[in-house]
């Protein structure tokens, strides 16, 4: 990927790194006071003059060379990914496990979700699924992508403004929720951060996907314990499978926090919707490995009766409370009717 960047006119990144000002260049010098401007011009001039002298280097690279470098890097990355995916197709044996879900309730928020799971595909492949503009074919809770606009493009990193209609399901209810977020996607460290843009029902909706490499066949390297990709590929002769260890952190804070039992229902809706999202991602990684039939069957069963798909303890408690409430209500009406007859 090249060092050049493309930014939407009029867009400014915020101080937290989402929409910060672009790097200082020659065009920005005119906006700086004279003394600082002259100092910067001197330093930039010295840097340019160092071309070919001692250990100096050129301040600029011809655009043709930059383009060639970008194309070569992209081609090498694509070849590496194809080789890693082929290793999975040659040996697709892998057991997909349900995600580990941790739900906490920080003060003033609805919930903070932390999901951890593993996938039988390399990080680049998983990253491609998550950032794909057409990923609604994968994630069944995305009904429609209303709009998508690239605000900043630095090659390996983009900031994208996305608005989509999301489907939620919980117990006997379902509905559609409009979500407007800014997405900071970085291929270098395989992170996808998202943050709410236009406010609505929620005051805060933000989170982050993190994808790390998982050396599936590292037993072949014993007694060595490879910690870097180069070491792993060397000891497995390039045939070792690379999986992904994935973490999803998500914080939801509504403008008005409803009291129980409504807050229990909303927390259950959020947990269930996020769990469905992760299950769809796991199913897609299995499809790409070439074993889609078994996974699709499980997904169909899940969609048929979502109440039976590993309900959380909170959901069980919630349904039991409502069951007891209806039971006590019926008994209370019977007792009152009996006393009136007597």
The 3 state secondary structure assigned to 172-231 is CEEEEEEEEEEEEEECCCCEEEEEECCCCCEEEEEEEEEEEEEECCHHHHCCCCCCCHHH
Do 7 and 22 meet the contact criterion of CB atoms below 8 Å apart? yes
69 CB-near residues (< 8 Å, 6+ apart): 2, 61
- Report the C-alpha gap between 199 and 254 in whole angstroms: 10
pLDDT, the chain, mean: 76
Of 270, 217, 310, 243, the closest CA to residue 96 belongs to: 243
Query: In the chain, what percentage of residues exceed pLDDT 90?
Result: 48
> 274, 247, 276, 246: which is closest to 110 by C-alpha?
274
DSSP-derived 3-state class of residue 159: strand
Is 211 a residue whose pLDDT tops 80?
yes
230 exposure class (CB count in 10 Å sphere: 0-12, 13-18, 19+): exposed
For the ranges 46-55, 76-85, 221-230, the one whose mean pLDDT is highest: 221-230
Write out pLDDT tens, residues 300-326.
Answer: 434 433 333 344 444 455 556 555 655
CA distance 88 to 55: 45
pLDDT at residue number 80: 85
pLDDT interval class at 223 (50, 70, 90): very high
Residue % of the chain over a pLDDT of 70 = 62
How would residue 199 be classed by pLDDT, with cut points 50, 70 and 90? confident
* pLDDT (tens digit per residue) in 106-157: 998 999 999 999 999 999 999 999 999 999 999 999 999 999 999 999 999 9
Q: Which helix (H) or strand (E) holds 102?
A: strand 100-104
CB-side exposure of 230: number of CA atoms within 13 Å?
0
pTM exceeding 0.75:
no
How much is the average pLDDT of 232-243? Answer: 93
Domain ranges of the chain: 92-323
Whole-number pLDDT of residue 86: 92
8-state DSSP, 136: G
Choose between 202 and 105: higher pLDDT: 105
Q: Contact, 71 vs 82, CB < 8 A?
A: no
pLDDT at position 216 over 80: yes
pLDDT in tens, 253-262: 988 888 998 8
Mean pLDDT of 194-209: 89
Lowest mean pLDDT among 168-172, 185-189, 323-327: 323-327
Decide: helix, strand or coil at residue 246: strand
Check if the beta carbon of residue 163 is closer than 8 Å to that of residue 177.
no
Residue 112 CA to residue 104 CA, distance in Å, equals 5
pLDDT of residue 97: 95
Q: Dihedrals φ, ψ of 29, to 5°? A: -65, -30
pLDDT digits (tens, 9 = 90+) for 22-37: 443 433 333 334 443 4
Among the four given CATH numbers 1.20.120.520, 3.30.830.10, 3.30.530.20, 3.90.78.10, the one describing domain 92-323: 3.30.530.20
Q: What is the mean pLDDT of residues 257-268?
A: 89
Angle between helices 262-289 and 313-341 (to 10 degrees): 140
Q: Is the model more confident about 92 or about 22?
A: 92
- The pLDDT confidence band at residue 299, using thresholds 50, 70 and 90, is very low
d(CA 239, CA 218) in angstroms, rounded, equals 11
């Amino acid at each position: 990927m090249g060092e050049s960047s493309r930014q939407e006119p009029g867009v400014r990144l915020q101080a937290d790194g989402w929409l910060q000002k672009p790097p200082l260049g020659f065009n920005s010098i005119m906006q700086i006071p004279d003394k600082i401007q002259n100092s910067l011009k001197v330093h930039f001039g010295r840097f340019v003059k160092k071309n070919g002298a001692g250990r100096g280097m050129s301040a600029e690279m011809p655009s043709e060379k930059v383009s060639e470098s970008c194309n070569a890097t992209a081609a090498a990355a694509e070849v590496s990914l194809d080789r890693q995916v082929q290793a999975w197709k040659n040996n697709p044996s892998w057991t997909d496990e349900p995600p580990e879900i941790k739900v906490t309730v920080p003060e003033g928020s609805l919930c903070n979700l932390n999901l951890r799971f593993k996938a039988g595909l390399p990080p680049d492949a998983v990253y491609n699924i998550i950032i794909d503009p057409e990923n609604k074919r994968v994630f069944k809770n995305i009904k429609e992508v209303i709009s998508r606009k690239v605000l900043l493009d630095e090659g390996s990193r983009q900031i994208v403004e996305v608005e989509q209609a999301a489907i939620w399901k919980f117990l006997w209810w379902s509905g559609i929720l409009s979500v407007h977020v800014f997405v900071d996607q970085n291929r270098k460290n395989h992170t996808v951060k998202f943050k709410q843009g236009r406010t609505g029902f929620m005051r805060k909706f933000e989170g982050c996907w993190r994808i790390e490499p998982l050396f599936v066949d590292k037993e072949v390297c014993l007694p060595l314990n490879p910690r870097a990709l180069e070491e792993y590929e060397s000891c497995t002769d390039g045939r070792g499978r690379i999986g992904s260890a994935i973490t999803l952190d998500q914080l939801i804070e509504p403008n008005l926090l409803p009291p129980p039992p409504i807050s229990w229902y909303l927390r259950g809706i959020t947990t269930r919707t996020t769990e469905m999202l992760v299950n769809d991602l796991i199913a897609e990684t299995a499809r790409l490995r070439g074993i889609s039939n078994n996974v699709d069957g499980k997904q169909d069963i899940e969609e048929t009766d979502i109440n039976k798909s590993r309900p959380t303890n909170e959901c069980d408690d919630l349904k039991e409370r409502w069951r007891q409430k209806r039971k006590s209500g019926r008994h209370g009406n019977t007792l009152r009717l009996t006393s009136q007859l007597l």
